[in-house]
A and B are shown apart, each in its own frame.
Chain A
Amino acid sequence: MDAIVDSDGGMDRAADVQLDAEPAIQVDGLVKRYGDVLAVDGIGFAVARGSFTALLGGNGAGKTTTIAILLGLVRPTAGRIRILGQDFALHAKALLARMNFQSPYADLPRRLTVRQNLTIYARLYGVVKVTDRIAYLARELDLSALLDRPLGELSAGQRTRAGLAKAFVNRPELVLLDEPTASLDPDTADWVRGFLARYAREANASFFIASHNMLEVERLCDQVLMMKNGRIVDSGAPKELIAKYGRTTLEDVFLEVARHGAKGGAA
């Protein structure tokens, strides 16, 4: 599974996706209702092993709820979820050991150092060689000089990288990321995208990403799920969607769907 870096730095990873294996995520008829509010309205999708799949949608579309359900933090009202070939409802904790996530809604304790935070999570996930793993992640995410500084003393970008280190501390097979590069400058964001692609290649990992950065999604993702009002209103490869809507960028497609609904009727 080799990533091919385009001349503009983009990555064509479609050839790497393992379509024959049982999906990394298989969701059927997922519903989440908060009282009268239908946050997720019967969605179904599959994330192929080794793929990058993006979940796009405006605020309140249901992206964060969907990710929280996949992490076991929200109880779904209905639906069936299989992760890495197993029923999530029956094997949640065993599956969570093989997954990880980063979200702007969850922080790491800011009074602890980066090393202390990573040590705690390494132990929670049962990492065997904790010191080696932390050293590797520190090298990969340029955190070596920051390891013994409290998280609260770091810049937002540095904290994001520390959060990413936590998200990879257990060598996850499935990574859920909510706005992974939101607080990073363009250079660091590009460098982090390179790390994600490299990790996916080396660990044969699958990624499920919620992002508002359309350029990032175009460059990284094999598949895009477009969410609106709790429903998946369109999906496909970024280039397919751009072609389908007769636009030049995925951002234009996003705006079209957000303002006028999806082509083919679902809105």
Chain B
Amino acid sequence: MSFADKGTPRRIGAVVLRHWYLIAGSWPRFLDLCYWPIVQMILWGFIQTFLMRQSDFFAQAGGILLGAVMLWDVLFRGQIGLAISFFEEVYSRNLGHLLATPLKIGEYMAALMVVSLMRTIVGLFPATLLAIWFFGFSLYSLGIALIAFFFSLIIFGWSIGLFVAGLVLRYGLGAESFAWAFIFALAPLCGIYYPIAILPSWVQALSALLPASYIFEGMRTVLIDHVVRTDDLLIASGLNLVWLAGGIAGFLLFHASARERGMLLQLGE
């Protein structure tokens, strides 16, 4: 069985279209995508403004908290966007229909990633513009490194999202809460708002396994020292390959187990 054929883009596009219909057809859903990143950005923007008045470090490193919160949202929205898109099929009991079409499981995973990318961009873009207007900080000042940071974080988010989706596929909607639990458990280890060096040494060892740790360190280096650490980016890319392979393998294994146990047709609320 081949992984892709000439119908692959069309089938991926069909799944993406299904989610676009859902978002575009409901302004509360559209608003919800943008709302939380904006609220987070405003909250951390004011914290940063306060700290800049109190500390020379923050005064000189303008934007590190705002940059951190918006890059964290790339990771968080990337992960949750993939998981929620999968949960939508489960809530609507549509998964059996989808998986009994010519859509291949690899195409379905790819479609979930595209939907996650779409949701992340739609959700985050307004916050980045408002950050310029409200606080005079442009995430785009990270330059070309922003592209590398963005994809590194979203790929890490997809890895976790695929694993969580697999868990729900295998164990049902009871495992839904892992979508939030996993990512927030990793947050303290990633050094989003502080350098990894302040963590206990054994925690630093765990942080070293997370691509996001290198990205947040890299963001601080760009904003404070105006240097792009390519070595950190390469390590993050290598780790992402491992994490993504793990996420895909987890989803495939859970899918195989769900198929073995006859859960694919009846999975739903």
Contact = CB atoms under 8 A, between A and B. Distances in A.
Given A93-B102, A123-B11, A123-B13, A106 B97 contact: yes
A72 B1 CA distance: 14
The interface size bin for chain B is: 35 or more
A121 interface: yes
Contacts of A72: 99-100
B96 interface: yes
A167 to B, nearest CB: 10
B22 interface: yes
B102 A73 contact: no
Contact of B264 (A74, A111, A125): A74
B265 interface: yes
Interface in B10-46: 10-11, 13-15, 17-18, 21-22, 25-26
A8 B26 CA distance: 49
Contacts of B266: 105
B98 interface: yes
B101 to A, nearest CB: 4
Contacts of B94: 106-109
A36 to B, nearest CB: 13
Nearest to A111: B22
B260 interface: yes
A75 B265 CA distance: 12
A112 B25 contact: yes
A27 B88 CA distance: 34
A105 B265 contact: yes
B226 interface: no
A96 B102 contact: yes
Given A109-B92, A112-B25, A68 B265 contact: yes
Contact of B7 (A34, A64, A126): A126
A34 B98 CA distance: 23
Contacts of B25: 111-112, 116
A119 interface: yes
20 contacts: A34-B261, A65-B262, A68-B264, A71-B265, A73-B96, A74-B260, A96-B100, A96-B102, A101-B100, A103-B265, A106-B94, A107-B268, A111-B22, A111-B26, A112-B18, A112-B22, A116-B25, A120-B15, A121-B101, A124-B11
Given A93-B102, A106-B265, 9 more contacts: A73-B265, A92-B1, A96-B101, A109-B92, A111-B26, A116-B25, A123-B11, A124-B98, A166-B97
